Structure 1
């Protein structure tokens, strides 16, 4: 069981390319739409990234950037340059922002490939929480698989072939996994405890077993047997490596799965309880309330209402763009 792949698959992590553009100085674009996670690849040239509260960040050809923020951010040819909304560019307005001064064309044009990921439910919360607002991955540290996936993605968006969207979705899935791997190897990365523990000979097998069959009635003794340790030694080792006790991790993972399952159309509490390893609706409700602070039904109504409001706001914004 590949725990990272399982987490992303259960979160229905899906990507969509929303921009592949070439900019010549002076230029600037602002991203205002809110996505849980976006990636940006500088295929050529250079640019600056501006986010309120952060120092301007310069990127060069071959660099990647993962962005996790609900605040607007800007890509510009030089710090402080004016920027036009990316949404307006996507709606067909001119790519170059009109400037009061003539273009300087200082340096090569910047080729920028951008994509956004939609993550459903809360199973990726611990993953997203470990990422900073801006996570740059420098071209010099981009390994072979990531470089290959990025090259394939760039080639694919440059053509129009049958089944292209399916190919782009799969390539974006790969790019996300490779990018997260690359980021978590960096010394400044805040690596989630479960990710760092995957290579541990005691915690790793237990994590993979839990993700392989979360509905199983796991005991500490069973998980300890996978590691060849006593219950006490295993529980201590798991807690040290992961940051929480084995059964606490199991419960939290089950509740994340339950939250995602509750949002599926037609899902019943009884079916969700069975799916995540609880023998009754009552048992699931109690565990869910301890985790989320309210009953499953009330939590689901609030989440659906919030999603509907967000969708309505996005549609209104699109109409007014």
Structure 2
């Protein structure tokens, strides 16, 4: 089981927002705080300046990408001294929207997108990411990413049949290539060293894959250690150091995360949900779920509507955010 794909599939909700935004200098876009949004911005034409709310400045060149895993507020502009523009509309960034606009005269073009993450359930992999991660363009080192960005840009540029199906799939591909580049190429980055190293560490990766492939199995530290090929004590110590949680603590976290998604996405009885995530009785499952989520699973289901994919918005021009 691919842990990275599994984590994002379970935690995100609906379809991604995606847009191709032509901008003519001087321009400035202000992105508000969106704690449950995972954003991506890619410069496909021109260069820009990203300024965080703490005053950190990133110089984003043509072809560069910036991940914003926690929806942190920031300003994106053609130059540092360009006056601040209007805040981006939340209605324009709703899940499932696909926005296009003519770009014949644009000096800059930004391809951007965002996922809504499941509320109140931050996976430690995502929690460990920095607020902003800047990945410079490198077509020679990452040709697959370059090609995926070009394909996404092409689908967002042209109004062709099937585009609203292709755009989310291509955005998924771009995001995965970006995350792979971040995790594989930056294992020593202080903010993501644990999970980057964990996924690169073969014994711990095997244990994580086993948990994700069969969360219902009655795993023990010893049996997971056998999968990893390590002694019980060595495995427990190494897993905890790299993942940030003891093995059985992470197992419980992931079981209950899956349970929350099953409760919102399906009408399966609680007994069936409890068995699917590895609890021998509905009572044991309900007690564990209430400890973690602060409410019984039945009440949680009533208060959280199903995470159905959003219906894509009609194609329409995007109003410029020029200052």
TM-score band w.r.t. shorter chain: 0.7 to 0.9
What residue number does 1:148 align with? 147
Query: In the superposition, relative to structure 1, how do residues 235 and 90 fare at CA in structure 2: closer, same or farther (>3 Å)?
Result: closer
Distance across 2 between alignment mates of 1:64 and 1:43: 9
The CA RMSD over aligned residues, in Å, is 3.1
Distance 1:265 1:224 in 2: 33
Between the two structures, name the one with larger relative contact order (CA 8 Å, sep ≥ 6).
2
The correspondence of residues 1-321 of structure 1 with structure 2, limited to 5 A, is 1-12=1-12, 15-32=15-32, 34=34, 36-70=37-71, 72-80=73-81, 81-87=83-89, 109-120=107-118, 125-140=123-138, 143-184=142-183, 185-186=185-186, 187-188=188-189, 190-191=191-192, 193-264=194-265, 266-301=267-302, 303=304
Higher helix share: 1
1:55 Cα offset (Å): 1.9
CA contact (8 A) 2:72 2:131 kept: no
1:220 is displaced (CA, Å) by: 2.4
Tell me, in whole angstroms, the C-alpha distance in 1 between the residues paired with 2:243 and 2:272. Answer: 30
Q: For 1:229, what is the secondary structure of its paired residue?
A: coil
Query: Structure 1 unaligned runs (5+)?
Result: 96-104, 308-321
Question: What is the deviation of 1:259?
Answer: 1.9
Find the counterpart in structure 2 of residue 311 from structure 1: none
The 8 Å contact of residues 126 and 192 in structure 1, kept in 2 or not, is answered as: no
2:314 maps to none
Deviation at 1:188, TM superposition (A): 3.2
Deviation string 1:207-241 (CA, Å, 9 cap, x unpaired) is: 11111111111122322222333333332333333
CA deviations 1:37-84 (Å, max 9, x no partner) are: 111100111112233223232211111011234554322222252313
Aligned mates of 2:21, 2:124 — CA distance in 1:
32
Tell whether the 8 Å contact from 1:131 to 1:189 is kept in structure 2 after alignment. Answer: no
Distance across 2 between alignment mates of 1:243 and 1:196? 11
Larger Rg, first or second structure (1 or 2)? 1
Residues 119, 162 of structure 1: CA spacing in aligned structure 2 closer, same or farther, 3 A cutoff?
A: same
1:12 touches 1:119 (CA, 8 Å); kept in 2? yes
* Unmatched 5+ stretches in structure 2: 94-100, 308-323
3-state SS, counterpart of residue 87 of structure 1: coil
**Counterparts in 2 of 1:111 and 1:52: CA distance versus 1, 3 Å:** same
> Whole-Å Cα distance in 1 between the matches of residues 237 and 160 of structure 2?
54
8 Å CA contact 1:220–1:246 kept in 2: the answer is yes
What is the SS of the residue equivalent to 1:218?
coil
Deviation at 1:116, TM superposition (A): 1.3
Residue by residue over 1:121-167, the C-alpha shift from the partner in whole angstroms, topping out at 9 and shown as x without a partner, is: 66653232122222211114862221111111112212222211111
Change (3 A) 1:123 1:216: farther
TM-score by length of 2: 0.79
Deviation sequence 1:244-302 (CA, Å, 0-9, x none): 22212111111111122222353432222111011112101222233234433444455
Other structure's SS at 2:202 match: coil
Gap change, CA 1:165 and 1:283, over 3 Å in 2: same
Q: Distance in 2 between matches of 1:192 and 1:260?
A: 28
For residues 285 and 265 of structure 2, the distance between their equivalents in structure 1, rounded to whole angstroms, comes to 17
| Cα distance in 2 for residues equivalent to 1:188 and 1:220 | 29
For normalisation by structure 1, the TM-score amounts to 0.79
